[in-house]
Amino acid sequence: SQQGEEDPQALSIQEGENATMNCSYKTSINNLQWYRQNSGRGLVHLILIRSNEREKHSGRLRVTLDTSKKSSSLLITASRAADTASYFCATRNSGGSNYKLTFGKGTLLTVNP
């Protein structure tokens, strides 16, 4: 079954604007990860946030995690055309198999120059 659900499904912005993508999930997690996928390419890991963390930064990326609401957000600041890609959240659930990483359906971000 689907764990993460990204919102919105598609987002189109102008270069320089900020982009916010949200992810909701259903079960308890050990960590939540965000990945980027450029068209026709494999997924690339962006950032991992543990269940006991609330916020994490990496360059122009800011991720928040609210375990009470079972949701996370990815903020990309000062977007660039090169940020155009699909972004996926993925959860590693607590309990059960620690090896399984379950992906959401993704948000397609288009950054217009």
Partner 1 sequence: DTAVSQTPKYLVTQMGNDKSIKCEQNLGHDTMYWYKQDSKKFLKIMFSYNNKELIINETVPNRFSPKSPDKAHLNLHINSLELGDSAVYFCASSHIAGVNTGELFFGEGSRLTVL
Site residues for partner 1 per CB under 8 A: 2, 30-31, 33, 35, 37, 40-45, 48, 50, 86, 88, 90, 92, 94, 97-103, 105-106, 108
Q: How far is the CB of 78 from partner 1 (least distance, A)?
A: 25
Indicate the pairing of strand 85-93 with strand 29-37: antiparallel
CB of 79 to partner 1, least distance (A): 20
Structure tokens belonging to residue 34: 């965000």
Spatial distance between the Cα atoms of 108 and 100, rounded to a whole number of angstroms: 24
What is the smallest separation between the CB atom of 16 and partner 1, expressed in angstroms? 27
Report the alpha-carbon distance of residue 28 to residue 20 in Å, rounded.
23
**Are residues 37 and 85 in contact, defined by beta-carbon separation less than 8 angstroms?**
yes
| CB of 15 or CB of 31, closer to partner 1 | 31
Taking the complex as a whole, the smallest distance from the CB of residue 95 to partner 1 amounts, in Å, to: 10
Nearer to partner 1 by Cβ, of 14 and 100: the residue is: 100
Instruction: Measure the CA–CA gap between 26 and 70, rounded to whole angstroms.
Output: 7
Measured from the CB atom, the residue of 18 and 98 that comes closer to partner 1 is 98
- Distance, CA of 8 to CA of 4 (rounded, Å): 12
